[in-house]
Amino acid sequence: MGTLKATFLDINKKNHVLYYYIIESDLANRWVKITKENQARADKKLNYKFTNTVYKHIDKVRNRLTDCINKINKIYDEPLPIYEDVPELTTFHLNYLHEEFERYGDRMQELIDGNIHWSSKMHDNFLELNELIHLHEDVLKSKTAEFPNMAVLYDYYPQELHYPILESDKLWLTNQLRWGELYLGYNTLGKDWLKVHIDNDMEVIERDQVRPQVRFAAEAWMNFGPDSSNYWSTLQFEKWVKGLPKEIQKRVPINNLNELSLGRYKIGNLIINDEFIRKYGGTFADYELPRSQAKLDWNMNVLSTFEKLLLIEFLF
C-alpha cells in the first residue's frame, strides 16, 4: 500500500516526522482514496485535535471548555451550563454536556430550517465542544492512570465526504487497541459500545443513543494510549455487560456481534526504525513491549510538546 508521513510542530518550533505503514486492505485503500479526494480540493483544510495534556494542566482544558460553551451560548437558543460553582467537572457533568451535543445534532436540521438559532460558526463550536469533552475526560482519567491516554485525531474540514462501512471491513475491527496504531476516526454522532463501556455511560443506553460506526471519512486516529492486554478488553466488556441491570443489559446486542461492532477499525502501524530510535531513544524491543517505559517516556517528553499537525502525505 505505502506509507503515511505526518509532520508535526512542537512548542519549541521544532519539526517531528512520524511514518505509518498503511495496511494493504480494501478498507485502508478506500480511506487513502477519500483522504486524497479531500487533499485535492482547495476548500478543504486539515483539522486536528491533540489529546496530549496531563492532569496538572486540567485547568487549561477546563478554561477552553468554558470559553467554547460561552461562544455557543451567545447564539444557541437553549444555553448550556458552564458549572461556575463546580471546582472540578466529573464524568456526570461531562456526560450531560455530551448528551446536549447529541441533542443539538438531532435537532440541527430543525435549526437550519428555522434559520434563527443556527450558523456555521455555532456548528464549529459544537464540534469543538465534543472534542473538548472527550479531552477533559481523558485528562481527568490521567489523574490516577499509570499510562495516560494520548492520541492525535485529524480530518479535513468542512467534513462532507463519506464512504460506507462494508460488512467485509469488520475483519479489521478490534477492541484490543495498541500504542502506535492507526485507526479510522469514529466519525459518528453519539457513542459506540466500546466508548459506552469505558465511560460506564448508562444514560446514553437508556436514551437509545448508542450508534455503532456505519461510515467513515478521511478522519484518522493516531493512538498513543496504553496497550490493551490480550483478551483483557473483551473480558472486561463481557463482565461489564453481565453486571448491568437486567433492563439495560437487554439493550446490549451481545448476541449479535455484527450489530455490536465493538472496537475501532485498524488501518496502519507506526514505523519504529533506526531514525526513530536515534532521535527518541529506547530499543526496538522496548517499543514491542506493552506499556513500556520507552512508550511512556515518548508520550510525556515528546508527544506532550506537539502543538500543530502541519502536513499529511502519502509515500508510495
The domain limits of the chain are 1-51+150-316, 53-148
Letter string b/e over residues 90-104, b meaning 16 or more CB atoms within 10 A of that residue's CB: eeebbbbbbbbbbeb
Cα(67)–Cα(310) distance, rounded to whole angstroms? 25
Residue type for 269, please? N
Do 264 and 184 meet the contact criterion of CB atoms below 8 Å apart?
yes
3-class DSSP state for residue 185?
coil
- Give pLDDT, residue 41: 96
Reduce the DSSP state of residue 163 to 3 states and report it: strand
Strand partners, 264: 174
Between CA 311 and CA 111 the distance in angstroms is 35
Section 223-233 average pLDDT: 86
Task: Give first-to-last CA distance, the chain, whole Å.
Answer: 7
- The residue that leads in pLDDT, 135 or 250, is 250
Residue 7 in contact with residue 316, Cβ under 8 Å? no
Q: What average pLDDT does the structure give for the chain?
A: 92
- Indicate if the pLDDT at residue 111 is higher than 90: no
For residue 230, the model assigns a pLDDT of 67
CA separation for the pair 267, 29 (Å, rounded): 9
- Mean pLDDT within 131-145: 84
- pLDDT 10s digits, 273-290: 999 999 999 999 999 999
194 and 281 in contact (C-beta within 8 Å)? Answer: no
* Alpha helices by DSSP H, 231-273: 232-242, 246-249, 257-260
Note the pLDDT tens digit of each residue in 116-134.
678 888 899 998 999 899 8
Task: Dump pLDDT digits (tens) for 169-215.
Answer: 999 999 999 999 999 999 888 899 999 998 898 988 988 889 999 99
pLDDT one-digit tens code per residue, 287-311: 999 999 999 999 999 999 999 999 9
Cell numbers standing for residue 237: 466488556
The pLDDT of residue 116 is 67
- Secondary structure class of 315 (helix, strand, coil): strand
Q: Which of 31, 48, 262 is nearest to 155 (CA)?
A: 48
Other Cβ atoms less than 10 A from the Cβ of 271: the count is: 15
Least confident of 13-22, 204-213, 266-275: 204-213
Q: What percent of the chain has pLDDT over 70?
A: 99
Rounded Cα distance, 105 and 183, in Å: 24
Residue 1 clears pLDDT 80, i.e. is over it: no
Residues 6+ apart with CB under 8 A from 226: 145, 146, 147, 149, 179, 290, 291
